Structure 1
Amino acid sequence: MKRAWTMPVLLLLCGTAGAAGLILRGSTGAAVGLLLVILLLAGAQSPLVFPRSVGALEAQRRSAADGRPVVYWRPGCTYCLRLRIRLGRDAGRLHWVDIWRDPAGAAAVRAANRGDETVPTVVVAGRPHTNPDPAWVREQLTG
């Protein structure tokens, strides 16, 4: 869990240091602008923008019951963020597994990607798809 927050915390620390430097130079407006941008970037890199993650075994069980895809992701992944944003409200209909929090999820991703932890990996009907187009993933929800 600690690793998931590393990037957002580092962004906030660096942004705060940069803003402090701007304030010392008398550029309060620029400091506020920098802090706002850093806050947005840190939020986008945090686990908060993703639907609540479940364990890989629970996600697989739920997927078998309702037929919805399982998305394996990790915080800080720009492709995962792209998928999440492009899915919009439909993202909540998928089963999300944070591979940094769930070793079984990381193992499932490595098995699907020749040993690499490439995310997002979306499993539909038992078949993995690495970094699929978000429009295709949305179609899997309606089909």
Structure 2
Amino acid sequence: MKSFLIYLALSTLLIICYCEKKYAGTEREAVFNASVVGSRFFVGRFAKSEGPSDDPTFRMQLQINDSFVRGSYRPLNSNVDVELIGAVNSLNELILIESGNGKATGTFKGKLVNGGNRLLRLSGVWTGVDAADPYYFLVDEVR
């Protein structure tokens, strides 16, 4: 368990370094603001292609502190939470590493945007470690 926690910490650090290096030296407008910080609850769905998708297939809870993100998601047909850890940069680009049973099982890469009524929307691509193809995902904040 100790080595897994070290792996997650180092992975998160590498993600942050990558994001900072990628945008270093370029002018950018800081859009990440204090209103995003805190605990947020979402409902989401996966789709094999971009565009409208079916009914929600999972619930997600994220705790955002500064640029670090921690949380979990649970498929609606499951009783098991999948742990998430990641980072968000000043352009609201987010990466989350999911883990189960001490192993990394996939990644969420996406962007946080205002979805209306001061609620957030996160969309992007989920890639599983053993998945042949990536899935698009869309999650909307609920209160």
TM norm structure 2:
0.28
Structure with greater proportional helix content: 1
TM-score by length of 1: 0.28
Tell me which protein shows more strand as a share of its residues: 2
